[in-house]
Amino acid sequence: MTFDFERMIDRTNTNSIKWHQYPEDVLPLWVADMDLAAPEPVQEALCRAVEHGIFGYEFPNKVLLETVAARMDNLYGWQVSPDTVVAIPGVIAGFTAAARTVCTAGQGILVQPPVYPPFLSVHKSSALVRQDAPLRMTAEGARLHYFVDMDMFKEAVHSGGAQTGMFLLCNPQNPTGQVYSHDDLTRMAEICQRNNIYICSDEIHSELLLGEGPACGQGAGRHIPIASLGLEIADRTITLIAPSKTFNVPGLFCGFAIITNQDLLKRYKETVEQMSLHVNSLGLTAAQAAFSGMCDDWLAALRVHLTGNRDFLVDIVKREFKGMRVTVPEATYLAWLDCNELVRASRITGTPYEFFLKKAKVALNEGKAFGIGGDGFVRLNFGCPRKTLEEALERMKAALA
């Protein structure tokens, strides 16, 4: 079966945040949803639900929880009971609930900037202290790579006068696209164990693994859920997943927390209930279709398309954007662009985000919103038809010229 990821779908007449945040002449490559249609099995399941005509209250049924558990086993060999799966409206709600479950007021929450912006504010809603353990960056020509500085990670634990209560991990990492290795995950988990710290792992991009070249497929299976490393680590971990990024259904607000520690699971469920985190019934329908396996051929083809877009972007930046550097993401459809040299050379005035918005009419994400290490950067969403990506890069190149 073939899948057409080059089909241009007009979203201007919809209520899309991505396409209505900016004027009509701006090409949006910012917020993390793709300009690609969801797979047919998901669309068909939603059509059947709509045709039924009644949209009453629903809870995740046994089949859905079994489907989520089975997917963890099929993908990673991680065996979890369906009873350990909790439906949530998405990962932001999920890690907010996690912080309220495992932390007490005044404790610390450890994050690794540059990172998904909601990570940087979750401490505010729970009266916690944010503790930053910035990732380290290295460059090879125009290509950037990020890694965990374990010494800095250790120093951030119990810093700022606060006892660290939770480490909020982003794996695969947003915005860098890094997939953490077994060694990195083990070392971070061991530090957390020694210091009595819970882990909440946002693994929403875990199925969007990219290949190592045009053929793709080589990236499949590299993701490791940190909770799968051992029973003691799993005992202190809340894992968050969702079909939203992988199958492009973010607006249906459905995700899952997996918690194998029965006491922690009970406490988390109580927090979810207290916060009234009810899940959209159509989101449950889409999740069942997405995780059932019926969409896996579509997903394999999507990875090939995204890998091609990534390689095209990296090659263009290297050849035609002198002074700009870019990550080569191992996962996600998000690239992280370093424009600091262009700013220092006065080829960009103001922030890169402002420059490309005004001069190129391309909307990207403002780098400083991702915390320490984000100044002078922008995040670009390449989850789109190639033609859209080409047009955006042409506009950006013309603006710099």
Output the CA angle 374-113-86, nearest 5 degrees. 130
Cβ proximity of 8 and 387 under 8 Å: yes
Distance of alpha carbon 298 from alpha carbon 311, whole angstroms = 20
- From the CB of residue 262, how many other CB atoms can be counted at a distance below 10 Å? 12
Output the CA angle 193-198-202, nearest 5 degrees. 120
- The three-class DSSP label of residue 19 is helix
**151-173 as b/e: b if 16+ CB within 10 A:** eebbebbbbeebebbbbbbbbbb
Q: Which residues contact 212 (CB under 8 A, 6 or more apart)?
A: 218, 219
Reported as a single tens digit per residue, the pLDDT across 251-304 is: 999 999 999 999 999 999 999 999 999 999 999 999 999 999 999 999 999 999
Helix (H) or strand (E) holding 111: strand 108-111
Cβ proximity of 167 and 110 under 8 Å: yes
Helix axes 281-291 and 62-76, enclosed angle (nearest 10)? 40
Reported as a single tens digit per residue, the pLDDT across 278-287 is: 999 999 999 9
Reported as a single tens digit per residue, the pLDDT across 152-162 is: 999 999 999 99
pLDDT at 218 over 50: no
Strand-by-strand arrangement of the 325-327 sheet: 136-140, 143-147, 325-327, 334-338, 377-381, 365-366
CATH class of 52-291: alpha beta
Section 221-250 average pLDDT:
96
Distance of alpha carbon 142 from alpha carbon 358, whole angstroms = 25
Is domain 17-38+296-400 in CATH 3.90.1150.10, yes or no?
yes
The residue ranking higher by pLDDT, 215 or 233, is 233
Domain range annotation of the chain? 17-38+296-400, 52-291
Q: Which tokens in the block code for residue 391? A: 């047009």
pTM over 0.85: yes
Q: Which tokens in the block code for residue 328? A: 């080569």
Distance of alpha carbon 13 from alpha carbon 23, whole angstroms = 13
Share of the chain above pLDDT 90, in %: 96
pLDDT at 22 over 80: yes
Cβ proximity of 292 and 64 under 8 Å: no
Reported as a single tens digit per residue, the pLDDT across 183-216 is: 999 999 999 999 999 999 999 999 999 996 433 3
Strands, E, within 188-231: which ranges?
198-202
Q: What's the pLDDT score for residue 289?
A: 98
Q: What's the pLDDT score for residue 1?
A: 79
Section 37-63 average pLDDT:
97
Q: What's the pLDDT score for residue 220?
A: 43
The number of helices, as runs of H, and strands, as runs of E, in the chain is 13, 15
Reported as a single tens digit per residue, the pLDDT across 89-136 is: 999 999 999 999 999 999 999 999 999 999 999 999 899 999 999 999
Cβ proximity of 34 and 384 under 8 Å: yes
Q: What's the pLDDT score for residue 212?
A: 65
Cβ proximity of 114 and 91 under 8 Å: no
CA–CA distance from 238 to each of 175, 198, 201, 234, 338 (Å)?
21, 8, 6, 8, 32
